Copies of this chain bind each other. A is one copy, B any other.
């Protein structure tokens, strides 16, 4: 919580934290100190790693580090003809070592669900907690559920459980989750809508509108509960669901403490007070832009905010 009310651009700055290159100045200042992560048989860079991560990682023989070129190349020692499986296995061996040796706070001695490397040419996965260390693109799906009432539009906003590891007690998007390995963003939303807000699958499948995606490059902070300064490129797929007033969102698992049906002014207040999870604030801002609540006429930084919400990531987002 900060005492000075946050503007919309403040909230964007809190999330899209990796500096931009000035086209009029020599580049490389921001990126040149980072290590580029590469996969076998693919010349493209799939992640950016801090020098400190490269230094502290308990590397196995599956990874080739070139300090001169600043690259980390995955080259599985056990290649059984299936490159994707060999890569995934190499990650597992490495992560097990990092867990055993308790090398990184962000892994906190735990395994986590498999995340894909989205731009890879084959379906390779890495555990969620460890993916942050490799600076790989993560993907989330966010659904905003709203209703039109006699007193104006209202949005269903949950408060996160105080027991959560990340952003406890913060306000959040109605429904949100990380897109897991082998899953599409829409399937993720359908699954999470039931798990988190008790919304029937049939309603979600038929009525949800796909509305685009937000992209930014974060730098992990303490709120995320790991090493500070990790490069965190993120894509958030955004969805809207308008429901009649009688449809109620209620918690269905331990991640949500309670749901509120907030007026637009209440959501604005929550944003200004930095009560929202950092990247969920961007989903609310994007919703406000698409629904004409934030306009070119009432927000001087309109064009700037919209470009920042859709940052072109310096990593591939699809197979070649």
Stretch at the interface among A121-129, A157-165, A210-218: A210-218
Query: Would you call the interface of chain A mostly helix, strand, loop, or mixed?
Result: loop
A81 part of interface (Cβ distance < 8 Å)? no
Query: If the complex has contacts A210-B292, A289-B211, A292-B209, are A21 and B24 also in contact, measured as CB distance less than 8 A?
Result: no
Q: Which of A21, A310, A311, A314 has the most B CB atoms < 10 Å from its CB? A: A310
Instruction: Name A289's contact: one of B26, B212, B215 (CB within 8 Å).
Output: B212
Q: In the assembly, how many copies of this chain are there?
A: 2
Contact indicator A185/B296 (Cβ below 8 Å):
yes
A237 part of interface (Cβ distance < 8 Å)? yes
Q: Which of chain B's residues have a CB closer than 8 A to the CB of A311?
A: 307, 312
Contact indicator A31/B20 (Cβ below 8 Å):
no
Q: Which of chain B's residues have a CB closer than 8 A to the CB of A21?
A: 21, 23, 27
Query: What is the size, in residues, of chain A's interface with B at 8 Å between Cβ atoms?
Result: 48
Query: If the complex has contacts A310-B309, A312-B308, are A211 and B292 also in contact, measured as CB distance less than 8 A?
Result: yes
Q: Which of chain B's residues have a CB closer than 8 A to the CB of A301?
A: 317-318
Q: Which residue of chain B is the closest to A290 with respect to CB atoms?
A: B211
Q: How far is the CA of A277 from the CA of B133 in the complex (A)?
A: 45
A84 part of interface (Cβ distance < 8 Å)? no
Q: How far is the CB of A201 from chain B (nearest CB, A)?
A: 16
Q: How far is the CB of A314 from chain B (nearest CB, A)?
A: 4
Q: Which of chain B's residues have a CB closer than 8 A to the CB of A26?
A: 26-28
A291 part of interface (Cβ distance < 8 Å)? yes
Contact with B along A288-320 (1 / 0, CB 8 A): 011110011100111110111111111001110
A45 part of interface (Cβ distance < 8 Å)? yes
Interchain residue pairs A-B with the least CB separation, the first 7: A27-B27, A310-B310, A210-B292, A307-B312, A303-B317, A210-B295, A23-B314
5 contacts between A and B (CB under 8 A): A23-B314, A185-B297, A301-B318, A307-B311, A311-B312
* Chain A residues engaging chain B, CB cutoff 8 angstroms: 20-21, 23-28, 30-31, 36, 45, 184-186, 208-213, 215, 235, 237, 289-292, 295-297, 300-304, 306-314, 317-319
